[in-house]
């Protein structure tokens, strides 16, 4: 089975840094995706971590610890447009290409 845990909501100030955590327990693990979803829109791909460590991509970075079943998404220099839900999705690597998504963390960026 799959168990994915991330905070439901977070609030942060424009220009600040915020870290969104995700813990997971999955049967099989290949890597972990992070998606961003603005209200009423489709989720969009942010990152995919396979190896342990931090991967930086502009203002967004993603960290993975396979042994701890833990990942986080780090957002720097927050902008108002970063207000969205952030979805953690471990990928088991099974043949049917299924992703299982967490409930998502709704981030509100305030002035």
Site for other proteins, rule CB under 8 A: 4, 30-31, 33, 35, 40-45, 48, 50, 87, 89, 91, 93, 95-104
- Nearest residue (CB) to other proteins, 78 versus 102: 102
Q: How far is the CB of 36 from other proteins (least distance, A)?
A: 11
Comparison of 63 and 91: residue with beta carbon closer to other proteins: 91
CB of 29 to other proteins, least distance (A): 11
Q: Phi first, then psi: what are they for 98, rounded to 5°? A: -80, 135
For other proteins, which is the closer residue by CB, 78 or 87? 87
Which C-beta is closer to other proteins: that of 36 or that of 109? 36
* Cα distance between residue 96 and residue 32, in whole Å: 16
Copy the structure tokens of residue 89.
């999705």
> Which residue is it, tokens 């986080």?
72
Q: How far is the CB of 109 from other proteins (least distance, A)?
A: 21
Handedness of CA 32, 37, 4, 6 (dihedral sign): positive
State how far the Cα of 58 lies from the Cα of 27, in Å rounded to an integer. 32
């Amino acid at each position: 089975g799959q168990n994915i845990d991330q905070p439901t909501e977070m609030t942060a100030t424009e220009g600040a840094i915020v870290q969104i955590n995700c813990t997971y327990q999955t049967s099989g693990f290949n890597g972990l995706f992070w998606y961003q979803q603005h209200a009423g829109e489709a989720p969009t791909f942010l990152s995919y971590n396979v190896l342990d460590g931090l991967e930086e991509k502009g203002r967004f970075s993603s960290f993975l610890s396979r042994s701890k079943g833990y990942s986080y998404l780090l957002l720097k220099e927050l902008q108002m447009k970063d207000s969205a839900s952030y979805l953690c999705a471990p990928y088991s690597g099974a043949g049917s290409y299924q992703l299982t998504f967490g409930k998502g963390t709704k981030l509100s960026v305030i002035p």
